[in-house]
């Protein structure tokens, strides 16, 4: 089986998760480790994961922040594009 993905890092358009990975993503709402990669300008490699947003579908990203969370790139983009979040945006940038 193959799924369409949002990938703003490497330009991947689709991933072929195994049955076990599909179950983790869709039934248990988890994430699946894909690979370690180093992007240009980075000092080392990071693990990248496949996860599923209930609004935008599957996406590829790395864990971010103190709690090492996975954030949907489209939800993040929508949040920062929303005029009502200007105050929150400024607080997050500090």
Label residue 90 by pLDDT band (50, 70, 90): very low
Q: Which residues pair with 60 in a beta bridge?
A: 50
| 91 against 5, higher pLDDT | 5
CB 54 within 8 A of CB 62: no
Q: Which helix (H) or strand (E) holds 80?
A: helix 73-81
Decide if pLDDT at 45 tops 70: yes
Between 82 and 49, the more confident residue is: 49
């Amino acid at each position: 089986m193959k799924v369409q993905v949002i990938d703003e890092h490497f330009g991947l358009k689709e991933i072929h998760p195994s049955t076990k990975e599909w179950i983790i993503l869709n039934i248990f709402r988890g994430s699946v480790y894909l690979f370690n990669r180093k992007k240009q300008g980075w000092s080392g490699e990071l693990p990248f994961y496949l996860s599923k947003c209930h609004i935008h579908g599957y996406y590829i990203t790395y864990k971010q922040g103190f709690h090492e969370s996975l954030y949907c790139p489209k939800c993040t983009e929508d949040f920062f594009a929303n005029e009502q979040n200007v105050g929150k945006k400024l607080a997050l940038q500090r």
